Amino acid sequence: MGAKNMGRLISIIRGAGVALLFLVIALCLTITIIPPFLDRIYYQGPVSRHYDGAHFFNPDGAIETPAPPGTNRQGFILRWLLGHDDRPQWPVAIAVKPARPAPFAAPRGMVATWVGHATVLVQAAGLNILTDPIWSDHASPFPPIGPKRIAQPGIRFDDLPRIDLILLSHNHYDHMDLPTLKKLWERDRPKIVTSLGNDMILKREGITSTALDWGQSISGAALNGLAPQAVIQCGNYEHCPDYQVHVTRNHHWGSRWGTDRNRALWSSFVVETRAGNIFFAGDSGAGDMGWPYEARRYGPIRLALIPIGAFRFWKGQMQSDAHIGPVQAVELFRRLGASTAIPIHWGTFRLSYEQWDTPPRMLELALRCEGIERKRFAPLRIGQSLLVPTVSPVPIGRKRCDERALRALE
């Protein structure tokens, strides 16, 4: 092919790309301008301290999404869509060695395997628990458009043990992945606990779930159709439903279509098991940072799953209203009083400005600032498993803080 024809072909491809971009923008504008056609009602109930009769809200303040300093929001969104916002480059792919987990953990044992993003397999006291499972290649309503994973899941789907319980924090596409949830439902019929309104989205896909409000709890017995206060005596501890799930507050928002913003609730969770308590933060900004104290009321936390990524939308930003950064993650860990934590929500889908490995590098510096041992809150490789230590106090050592190094990370 001659240079002239090659140039023409490149021009055609560029033109098609621009046309597709404007089509997406037009669709977004249509969604914004004509909400009655695309709005969804997921929940109807009494007004509460975080529900106004139509939409949920954060009682500790609304989520704000300002543009970078010196710009306007429309220009920032356009540059982000075009990839002209000077974001650091991400690798095209990250090598992953998938784990092959055992069928279950011992009666007092706890093993956690990071599958990627906010998906973790926690095996505790014979139970297999999954958080926000996503095995799809794209976190998007219109794949292949949208964020694409750079790392394959840390467990092949066919190597997953039977799943007993799924914790579903909210309805964003990188957390509520319907193709994955349908496969899990068809294979294992797991119990799914989520927050108010999200059950209606799942119901439309033929998936049964239990939706609770902040501060509500449900026992494994009740989830399995037994009397809520039934005393569980399992001859074999495998898959034994003697656990409690508590739905707890965090600081985020929900939407699947733009016009259905905050029609369904978001949440964090505490799961009480014979092996100890597990905390899953879901997706969260800091808010008033009072919600970790609410979670620790249920007892000592053996394992906390805490997000550290997608916090930066312009150079130098250290956290956003919707996503805590590593510095706030360390503060969350401290307020929870957790014994061990695993950082999640980083290095899988490119959702923000920071370099792919900035969150764990920044986390290590933030831990030094607080004098906390790295092993208490150490990043895992995707596919890596952690034998979670039993609960023990977190010693505070000498604080060695390098603020300049923290803020220099891209």
Amino acid at 195: S
Contact 357/379 with Cβ under 8 angstroms? no
Segments of 169-220 assigned E as strands: 191-195, 210-212, 217-219
Alpha helices in 34-86 (DSSP H): 35-38, 73-82
Lowest mean pLDDT among 64-68, 83-87, 190-194, 383-387: 83-87
Q: Decide if pLDDT at 5 tops 60.
A: no
Give the residues across from 378 on adjacent strands: none
Rounded to the nearest 5 degrees, what angle is found at the Cα of 364, between the Cα atoms of 359 and 367?
120
Q: How far apart are CA 40 and CA 200, in angstroms?
A: 10
pLDDT per position as a tens digit, 300-349? 999 999 999 999 988 888 999 999 999 999 999 999 999 999 999 999 99
C-alpha distance across the termini of the chain, in Å:
41
Distance CA 268, CA 288 (A): 15
| Predicted pLDDT of residue 232 | 75
For residue 6, pLDDT beyond 60: no
How many whole angstroms separate alpha carbon 297 and alpha carbon 335? 11
CA–CA distance, 292 with 372 (Å, rounded to integer): 18
pLDDT of residue 77: 60
Is the pLDDT at 78 greater than 80? The verdict is no
Please name each of the domains of the chain with its CATH number.
110-408 (3.60.15.10)
Q: Is the dihedral of CA 191, 161, 264, 169 positive or negative?
A: positive
Tell me phi and psi for residue 294, to 5 degrees.
-65, -40
User: Residue 408: its pLDDT value, please?
Assistant: 87
In this prediction, residue 139 carries a pLDDT of 95
In angstroms, the CA 278 to CA 299 distance is 10
Q: Give the chain's mean pLDDT.
A: 89
Q: Name the residue type at position 281.
A: A
Res 22: pLDDT: 52
pLDDT digits (tens, 9 = 90+) for 105-161: 988 999 999 999 999 999 999 999 999 999 999 999 989 988 999 999 999 999 999
| SS3 at position 264 | coil
Question: And the tokens for 112?
Answer: 């956690």
Q: Contact, 315 vs 84, CB < 8 A?
A: no
Q: What is the pLDDT of residue 34?
A: 45
Q: How many CB atoms lie within 10 A of CB 12?
A: 10
Q: Which two tokens stand for residue 177?
A: 């992945």
